[in-house]
A and B are shown apart, each in its own frame.
Chain A
Amino acid sequence: MLAIEPPRSYRLSDRFGNPTEEPQQSRVRAFEPGQAAQEQLVLSKLGVNGWGRWQYFRLCFSDGWGEAHQRPLSPKSQEMFIEALKHLQIPAGVRPSLFLTDEGFLEIAWKDSEGKATQIEFGPHEFEVYSEPAGEEGRFPYDQLEVVLNRCFGS
């Protein structure tokens, strides 16, 4: 046994409870209808890393998660993120990533082989595209989602 506790030993959050006790409610959650298809869509478009970050933001970021009480993941942002993935053609060879903004919005990002950046942020009412390869920067309402994504990233 160590005489001195390591400086950054981790401690389970109280919310996780005691794992040795029987839970009062089952911790096994059933998938909602359509959930499996969403999981498969995110996996196929963003890979395991992007899927893992999506789970991280969905499951771990509760209200007031930052120093300025940043917002939890917006359900509307997540809904439009899933919708966009149905139309989005991510260029072959890039490694997409996923971020959570302070407002609780999901943001897909990648860089191409020349280091040029592309980002798409999903707000509640509109989405923002920044694409150096496509020379595009702007905010658009969601009724233009498919058109804009095809214009910027269509093959």
Chain B
Amino acid sequence: MPVAVEEDIARAICSDKWDPETGLLSPSLFKGQNTSVSRLAVTPLDETWRVFRSEVEKPPERTLARIGTINVGRLAEVGRSFADNPTALTVEPDPLEGYPSHAIIPQKISRGLANQILRELQLHSELR
């Protein structure tokens, strides 16, 4: 069963997809199929930093720079209203061992749609 539209999801933003000098994000953060995300209803944002550091970060090459969050209903709306190719976006639970909040966006996301999603993404810095 897809994740409810009321839920928020988080996407790890690492140094290969984020340029701190320009503040630009790469659309390849969402472009493609089976995009990995984390459900904030299962793992709260504070704890998601720790999860992403163990699951996604791989220093010294790849470091976790930000976390991007978006509401599942808003994500679906962005997909539906994408004029070039309206896309029914869903989030499907895909719990992994030690990572129960893992989920995926299974649909194929084009570069144009990925750019629209980036505009809706709320960026979070880690509070230290």
Contact = CB atoms under 8 A, between A and B. Distances in A.
Interface stretch (A27-35, A55-63, A144-152): A55-63
B111 interface: yes
A45 interface: no
A137 interface: yes
Contacts of B58: 65-67
A42 to B, nearest CB: 15
A111 B24 contact: yes
B32 interface: yes
Contacts of A130: 27, 111-112, 115
Nearest to A48: B21
B98 interface: no
Interface stretch (B2-10, B11-19, B39-47, B70-78): B11-19
A137 B111 contact: yes
A65 B112 contact: no
A80 interface: no
A137 B31 CA distance: 14
A97 B19 contact: yes
Given A49-B21, A67-B56, A102 B28 contact: yes
Given A49-B21, A97-B19, A109 B111 contact: no
Contacts of B19: 49, 53, 97-99
Nearest to B32: A102
A35 B16 CA distance: 23
Contacts of B28: 99, 101-102, 107, 121
Given A102-B28, A130-B111, A49 B22 contact: yes
The 3 closest A-B pairs by CB, nearest first: A99-B26, A97-B19, A101-B28
Interface of A: 10, 13, 49, 53, 56-57, 60-62, 65-68, 70, 95-102, 107, 109-111, 117, 119, 121, 128, 130, 132, 137
15 contacts: A10-B60, A49-B21, A60-B61, A65-B16, A66-B56, A67-B36, A67-B55, A98-B19, A99-B26, A101-B26, A102-B28, A110-B22, A110-B24, A121-B111, A130-B27
Interface of B: 14-17, 19, 21-22, 24, 26-28, 32, 36, 55-56, 58-62, 84, 111-112, 115
